[in-house]
Amino acid sequence: MEEHKQEESMKHLGEEEGEEESVSESVRDLPSDAVKELLSEGVCARCIFRLFGLQGRVYASSPSLSSVSSLSATTHQLCTLCFGILQFTYYSDDTQTLLQNQNLPLLIADTVKRHAYQFHTFSLEVSIPPIILSNDNSLRSYMKTKFGSQSWFQENLHTGCISTKDALKFSLIYPLENLLECKSSMGPFRIRLTYTHTKASKGDQNRSDSAETCKRRKIEIPVGNSLENDSSDGCEFLLEKANEPCHFTFYCYRTPFYFGGRYLKYSRNVSQTCWIIDDERMGEASVEEIIGGKILQACQGDSFKFHAAGREDIDVRMLGPGRPFLVEVQNARHIPSELFVKDVERKINNMENKLVRVKNLKLVGSEGWDLMREGEAEKQKQYAALVWISRPLKDEDFQCISSHKDLKVLQRTPIRVLHRRSPLEREKIIHWMKIEAIAGSSQYFLLHLCTQAGTYIKEFVHGDLGRTHPSIGSILGCRAEILQLDVTDIKMECFLT
């Protein structure tokens, strides 16, 4: 095993030496007159590399940098093109200090390790101010005017210029791969670098005003602008000396994890989501807090969002196979394995109060939310309701209720939710109903029914002062009240079944 590691190390070292030699050759092949011109205008070595289309390890290679920098004595000034981004010179918004030529890869790696993320790969996201792109375009236009006839320009600069974003990634990725001991690849773990500059908005506005002035005067802006000629109409861009570096912040994060499953609620004093009115909690707990809180704690994330396929009132139990739900965990530090997910499910189900239970908990992709929503409009729900009517139950009532199939019901927004729902009229379907008698009671019975999603069951029983029609009360020709309600089944064909 040790010999194998040594062989891999020697192989890797040989590859790096080969790449270093290739990089040095590429740098030596750069046209010296153009390089001196750029250096004299305050362009940094890495910006020169990207203007000539060089890629890869050249940006992370100190010898290559020094070989270019030795051509000029002006290399320590702030780059007029990237404003210090590729020189690792920046104003830190976190520490409120100016940092010059810092070991940026080491700073980033230390921050990542301090936050204790678990990851197998990482990717870089970079945001830079628009003025950097404007600088690039203007300088390339000038270079085309001055060197466009030369072969190296046509082969490299005209088509192969590397963006500041990509050059920065080349500068950081290789050392970060060594420091973090993993490869760079698009994945859930991201490191985001954000650069801003005080000149950005002002410079963009000035160029916009200048372009508008040229438009009004019907003056054509030349394709190639000379840095040596100061145009009287103000339409030519001049690379100014950069006196202030970019402001820089960075942070790492993970894209959300989605946990899906079904929940059962056994208490009539537990809401689906946290319910607080006038700073007072309604109910003893919520499904959202019980399930989401346990998952969040296990993943060591920043926050979570709870999504469910519909909802039930606080006093309605959720029985049968359970209601589909998703928990979206933001910025988790731990990567959940299959064993990890089963352990979380076991912890939820073994809680002492036994208010809530989960089934079929699993890790799903971000498409889980779309799949759950797609089936929500077509799904059916089955309920069991304890009903009281104002007269004794008759034999014909059983047949009367069960004879209604796919009954269309018009429901205006219930009075009890008018304070938070729009006053609309909705058409819902009662697919089937049946009555189950209760021994020793003539005015109480169990009503079993299957309805379209979104049907207000309580209002379908008592009629809501005529706002729901027909209702159990109007069908039986008497007053009807619902005493207890349970959701017993949710038929929904999706990944959570």
Distance (Å, rounded) from C-alpha 142 to C-alpha 145? 5
Tokens found for residue 150: 């030369």
Element (H, E) at 145: helix 130-147
Distance (Å, rounded) from C-alpha 367 to C-alpha 365? 5
313 belongs to the catalytic site: yes
CA separation, residue 78 to residues 68, 82, 90, 150, 153 (Å)? 16, 9, 10, 29, 25
* Active-site hit among 313, 315, 370, 489: 313
**Quick check: helix, strand or coil at residue 480?**
strand
Phi, psi of 438 (to 5 degrees): -110, 120
Distance (Å, rounded) from C-alpha 381 to C-alpha 312? 11
Distance (Å, rounded) from C-alpha 240 to C-alpha 389? 86
Ramachandran assignment for 181, one of left (phi > 0), alpha (psi -120 to 50 degrees), beta (any other): left
Give how far the C-alpha of residue 119 lies from the chain's centroid of Cα atoms, to the nearest Å: 17
* DSSP assignments along 325-352, one per residue: EEEEEES-SSPPPHHHHHHHHHHHHT-T
Name residue 405's beta-bridge partners.
none
* DSSP assignments along 14-58, one per residue: HHHHHHHHHHHHHHHTS-HHHHHHHHHTT--HHHHHHHTT--GGG
Tokens found for residue 481: 């009240």
Q: Answer whether 353's CB lies under 8 Å from 475's CB.
A: no
Distance (Å, rounded) from C-alpha 40 to C-alpha 72? 7
Q: Write the CB contacts of 4 (distance below 8 Å, at least 6 apart in sequence).
A: none
The catalytic site residues sit at 313
